[in-house]
Each structure stands twice: as structure tokens, then as C-alpha cells.
Amino acid sequence: MRIAIFGANGPTGRLLTQQSLDAGHHVVAATRQPAAFPLTHERLEVEASDVNDPDQVAAVVDGCDAVLSTLGVPFTREAITVYSVGARHIVDAMHRHGVKRLVVVSSSATYPHHHADGGFLLNRVLQPIVIRTIGRTTYADMRAMEELVRASDLAWTIVRPSGLFDLEQPTAYHLDEDEAPGVFTARVDLAAAILDQLHLDTYVGKAVAVTTTTGTPTLFQMLRKEAGSKKAA
């Protein structure tokens, strides 16, 4: 299968690209900085593409059998449009070139809910604060992206991870329609779940939450790591 991956140079995008190649697929990795892309393979094409440019997006999609999007940007209080604009251009390009299968990454916080495993601190304190402050513009644009995808006539799936962290190998991750009971998702599991959707029809036309249940950090460990990374930056 020939797969287009947008956001290929992000942490999840790189994992997804490698997993796709390992599975025998031909990958077109779309990134604004192709020279910085770290992977090479005989079945890999790295294309310069900005999702804000519809012609560049269309060039990537042309000839592909499926499109996967792991687009992401850091939290900011300023307006964000990359998710919705990117989705609109991807959907338009897929219509133009007759490509039907689309999988996009959103977030479990896009439509906030109480996580069964979250406890008081996450559900009542941290999640509401993030959603109302630094995450407000991000989640607003993710909701706009989801609405665009849902309104299309494509064979779409929206994948919603929870708090992202790193593991070396994929685990027996858990899938739930719409809402996630768990609070963590390993990036390697997120990549695996996205790729697996190409061979499943269970969640076509649906949103699915992916969570990791083994090897997860504690909430305190995650907060300490985030605080450390911000201080180092």
C-alpha cells in the first residue's frame, strides 16, 4: 500500500513512518523540512510539503492509497489553524485524486470527559485548567478539524490519544469508541493504532480513543518530566 503521512517529522510521525516501512508499505512522508527527516529507505519518499499550501498537499496525496495525519503544534494562546486548514486541504486533495481512506490524530481532550483512571487531580484540576488556558486554541482547532473530517464522504477514522509518553516497543494498547478511560498513550502505541486502522473497518466513520495500560508513568512522573523540559528550554 502507498501511504501519505502528514506530520511525518514529528515524534509520532517518525514512529508511524518506520512502522509503516517495517510493515512493507511504500511511504510518502510530508514535512516542511525534508532535509531534517532522519529516516531513509528504498520505499520512502520524503516530500517538502506545507499543509497550508493546497497544491503541495495534493501533490503528496496523488497516487496514494491512504492518508494518515499526525499533524501537531505546541500549545500556544494564539490562534491555531494548522489542524483545520490541514484537514480541509487533505480532504480536498483526497477528493481530487480519488483516495478514500483517512486516519487523523486528535486528542482525548478535544471533547473533555472524565477518565475512569484519572482520579480527582486529573479530572477536576489539571484537565480543566489546561483546556481553559494553554490548550484552548489547540482543542478549538482540533474540534474544527474533526468536524471537517466528519462532514466528508471519506472512509475516515479519528484517533484520540491521551497524555503522550515514550516507550521503546508497542504494547497491547486498548481501543475505546469516543472516550478514553485511561490517561496515558505511548507514542509507539499511537503509531501502531493509526497503522492498524488501515486493515480494520471497525472504526470507519468513528472516533476511537487509544490508551496504553502497561509501562505507563505516574501522573507525578509526567508532571515532573514536563516541568523539567520547560525549565531546560
| Sequence spans of domains, the chain | 2-232
What is the grid cell recorded at 101?
Answer: 481512506
Distance CA 176, CA 156 (A): 16
pTM of the model: 0.88
Unique residue bearing C-alpha cell 480494520: 200
- Note the maximum CA span of the chain: 49
Supply the angle between the helices 136-151 and 82-97 in degrees, to the nearest 10. 20
What does the radius of gyration of the chain's CA atoms come to, in whole angstroms?
Answer: 17
| 203 backbone φψ class: left, alpha, beta (φ>0; ψ -120 to 50) | alpha
CATH assignment, 2-232: 3.40.50.720
Residues, the chain, total? 233
Strands 163-165, 155-161: pairing is: unpaired
Q: Give 165-221 pLDDT, tens digit per residue.
A: 999 999 999 999 987 777 889 999 999 999 999 999 999 999 999 999 888 876 655
Please report the pLDDT score of residue 201 as a whole number. Answer: 93
Q: Give 99-132 pLDDT, tens digit per residue.
A: 999 999 999 888 755 445 545 445 444 555 556 6
